[in-house]
Amino acid sequence: MFQVRIHGRGGQGVVTAAELLSIAAFLEGRHAQAFPTFGSERTGAPVVAFCRIDDRPIRVREPVARPDALIVQDATLLRAVNVFDGLGPDAYVLVNTTRDLRELGAAEAVATLRPERVRTVPATALAREHLGRPVPNAVLLGGFAALTGLVSLESVCAAIRQRFAGRVADGNVAAAERAYAYVSATTKEAIDA
């Protein structure tokens, strides 16, 4: 079983991100479970969502305490919440930011992780460019696909098209593809370095 935890703020589509990821896995014939930490609707408050993917039916329902992968949609959370809680040494981390993790003060937290598995991607900028709105959730999934190979980019895009329509779908797909390319390239750099 592969467990993903997604951190963000209300209004950034964190819950949708987990759902899209689960749909992508479903489209590949796998079992997937997605759910948020639940609260009253409140824009701007920290939100966490989870996604589990497995080839067998998933029965457990507790929050993901030991994520195999972490997605951080909003870098301001790095100082506010311990997003890295429970990460094992082989975990993947994908942070939405234009800055360096060192600049964000997160270097120490990821020091024990495998460097090629810790990536950043400017998802919000990509979203603005292709969507016209700073909603990075689906974009990040493109980067996530590249980083982990857990789901294919095709499945991510198919999930996006299932959930959204028209220009919103097109924009998200385009941005997700860009994020995929970005993370692939920078990961390769990190490995080659």
Partner 1 sequence: MLKQTEGSQAVAEAVALCRPEVICAYPISPQTHIVEGLSRLVKSGALAPCEYVNVESEFAAMSVAIGASAAGARAYTATSSQGLLYMTEAVYNAGGLGLPIVMTVANRALGAPINIWNDHSDAMSQRDSGWLQLYAEDNQEAADLHIQAFRIAEELSLPVMVCMDGFVLTHAYERVDLPSLRQVDAFLPPHTPSQVLDPDDPVSIGAMVGPEAFTEVRYLAHLRHLRALEVIPKVAAEFAAAFGRDSGGLVRPYRLDDAETVIVAMGSVLGTLKDVVDERRAHGERVGVLAITTFRPFPFAAVRRALRGARRVVVLERTLAVGVGGVVTDHVRAALADAAPEPGGAVPYLRTVIAGLGGRPVTTASLHGMLDRAVTDRLDPLTFLDLRHDLIDREARRERAAERV
Q: Is 62 in the site for partner 1 (CB under 8 A)?
A: yes
**To the nearest whole angstrom, how small is the minimum distance from the Cβ of residue 34 to partner 1?**
4
Candidates 11, 58, 169, 170: give the one binding partner 1 (CB under 8 A): 58
What 3-state DSSP class applies to 2? strand
Q: Is 155 in the site for partner 1 (CB under 8 A)?
A: no
Q: Is 86 in the site for partner 1 (CB under 8 A)?
A: no
User: How many angstroms separate the Cα of 154 from the Cα of each of 107, 109, 174?
Assistant: 32, 32, 12
HEC readout, 17-71: HHHHHHHHHHHCCCEEEEEECCCCCCCCCEEEEEEEEECCCCCCCCCCCCCCEEE
- The Cα–Cα gap between 37 and 14 comes to 10
Tokens of 91: 């975990």
Q: Which is nearer to partner 1, 18 or 118 (CB)?
A: 18
Q: Which is nearer to partner 1, 11 or 36 (CB)?
A: 36
Radius of gyration of the chain from its Cα atoms, rounded to whole angstroms: 15
Q: Is 22 in the site for partner 1 (CB under 8 A)?
A: yes
**To the nearest whole angstrom, how small is the minimum distance from the Cβ of residue 10 to partner 1?**
15
From residue 28 to residue 57, what is the string marking binding to partner 1 with x (rule CB under 8 A)? ---xxxxxx-xxx----------------x
Among the listed residues 104, 107, 139, 103, the one whose alpha carbon sits nearest the alpha carbon of residue 121: 139
Q: Which is nearer to partner 1, 4 or 118 (CB)?
A: 4
Binding residues vs partner 1 (CB under 8 A): 18-19, 22-23, 26-27, 31-36, 38-40, 57-63, 65
